[in-house]
Chains A and B, each alone.
Chain A
Amino acid sequence: MANGARDRDGPEHRPADEAALSARLRRLGNRLGSIRPGQPAEPPSGAGPTADPSAIARGFRLSTELVAGVIVGAMFGWLLDRWLGISPWGLIVFLLLGFAAGVLNVMRVAGVAPGPGAAGNGVNKN
């Protein structure tokens, strides 16, 4: 009953209502349009891994990142030694560099350092 009543006296109100509604929709659409493109355009790359929703997942990541850096450094140094015949030096230098890379990985997972390619020295981040 109530529906029918509203339907019946609807047509008189419709033009004004609809104009107002479409104006509001347009305004809303404009505002959404100005917000939306900005949102996905800047994914949390600066904060990168910090945006992990799950803390356990981050814990699992921390455990292997350091080891992986050291392994890659050692592998590189060993190969360089074999190819160039500079026996201990490649391993020594690249093991240290690999350790540094591992520490960098861990700092990135922990959210202390910015992601790769970002402004480097953390000073302008804070």
Chain B
Amino acid sequence: MADPIHQFKINKIATIANIGGHEIAFTNSSLYMLIAAGVITALMVGATASRSLVPGRLQSVAELSYEFVADTLKSSAGTEGMKFFPLVFTLFMFILTVNMIGLIPGTFTVTSHIIVTAALALLVFLTVIGYGVYRNGFRFLKLFVPSGIPVYILPLIVFIEVLSFLSRPISHSVRLFANMLAGHITLKVFAGFVTMLGGLGFVGWLGAVLPLGLTVSLTALEMLVAFLQAYVFTILTCIYLNDAIHPGH
């Protein structure tokens, strides 16, 4: 049976540079990131090329995705949050495209590596801290001090709030990574059953119908998960940005 973990192996394609004894390599992961960026750019540039009043198919895809992200951002961070639209839109499109490309058999799923999702989550986390402090100064720390709390339990509450704040990038990154990893392993295992049963001869092939059907339906489920994870990542980014814009609400 095929090794279900093998699909996550990082392969070096070319070495770009050696910096301080560390090899900076162009891997299959980087290749798929570049492909995703290329697909998004092609979609957006191609969709906006005609700029017709009545949108064509491609143009409505671009317009729908714009409006979807803009609505999500506006509803959770207000109109002030719209200055972060480029960041949020890029994150959404990148994660969605990368997840969807990963569903094509034989491709590599970039988001199934925690280092990638952790980098994305830390980007959001540091943006929130940076912008929150830049905009609100010390008032940003009000995020950790809820009002209307008796003084004698305030230190405890502040500790809990700080830990809760620090747990954000972890849940943010682990959720995306774990869902993609688990989904792809499950798909591979069930697809592996098909070939295993096929080895038993005719009866085996009959039995293989079951896991094959499951694989097909799991692929549909994974498509839903791929979209939902991109959406969850986006909406959490919006909620966190809202904390940076309006702390102490």
Chain A contact residues, CB within 8 Å of chain B: 40-46, 48-49, 51-54, 56-57, 60-61, 63-65, 67-69, 71-73, 76, 94, 97-98, 100-102, 104-105, 114-121, 124
A44 touching B75, Cβ below 8 Å = yes
If A68-B171, A71-B170 touch, whether A48 touches B239 (CB-CB below 8 Å) is yes
Smallest beta-carbon distance B222→chain A, Å: 14
Give the chain B neighbours of A43 by CB distance below 8 A. Answer: 75-78, 81, 242, 246
Smallest beta-carbon distance A71→chain B, Å: 6
Q: Which of B76, B171, B236 has the most CB of A within 10 A?
A: B171
C-alpha gap A45/B178 in the complex (Å): 28
How many chain B residues touch A (CB < 8 A): the figure is 46
B70 at interface by CB-CB < 8 Å: no
C-alpha gap A102/B148 in the complex (Å): 22
Partner of A116, one of B80, B161, B235: B161
C-alpha gap A48/B232 in the complex (Å): 14
Which residue of B is nearest A57, CB measured?
B232
- Apart from A45-B246, A115-B243, A117-B143: 8 A-B pairs, beta carbons within 8 A: A40-B78, A42-B78, A46-B249, A63-B175, A100-B163, A104-B161, A105-B164, A120-B157
A117 touching B77, Cβ below 8 Å = no
B74 touching A100, Cβ below 8 Å = no
B48 at interface by CB-CB < 8 Å: no
B164 touching A51, Cβ below 8 Å = no
Partner of B174, one of A53, A67, A97: A67
C-alpha gap A63/B160 in the complex (Å): 19
12 contacts between A and B (CB under 8 A): A57-B235, A61-B232, A68-B170, A97-B156, A97-B160, A101-B167, A104-B161, A104-B164, A117-B144, A118-B147, A119-B146, A121-B148
Q: Is the interface of A mostly helix, strand, loop or mixed?
A: helix
Interchain residue pairs A-B with the least CB separation, the first 3: A120-B146, A68-B171, A101-B163
Chain B contact residues, CB within 8 Å of chain A: 74-81, 142-149, 156-157, 159-161, 163-168, 170-171, 174-175, 178-179, 228-229, 231-232, 235-236, 239, 242-243, 246-249
B80 touching A104, Cβ below 8 Å = no
A73 touching B163, Cβ below 8 Å = yes
Give the chain A neighbours of B171 by CB distance below 8 A. Answer: 61, 64-65, 67-68, 105
C-alpha gap A69/B64 in the complex (Å): 35
A116 touching B232, Cβ below 8 Å = no
C-alpha gap A30/B114 in the complex (Å): 51
B163 touching A97, Cβ below 8 Å = yes
Smallest beta-carbon distance B169→chain A, Å: 9
Smallest beta-carbon distance B219→chain A, Å: 18
B163 touching A76, Cβ below 8 Å = yes
Smallest beta-carbon distance B29→chain A, Å: 23
C-alpha gap A41/B79 in the complex (Å): 8
B145 touching A72, Cβ below 8 Å = no
Give the chain A neighbours of B228 by CB distance below 8 A. Answer: 54, 56-57, 60
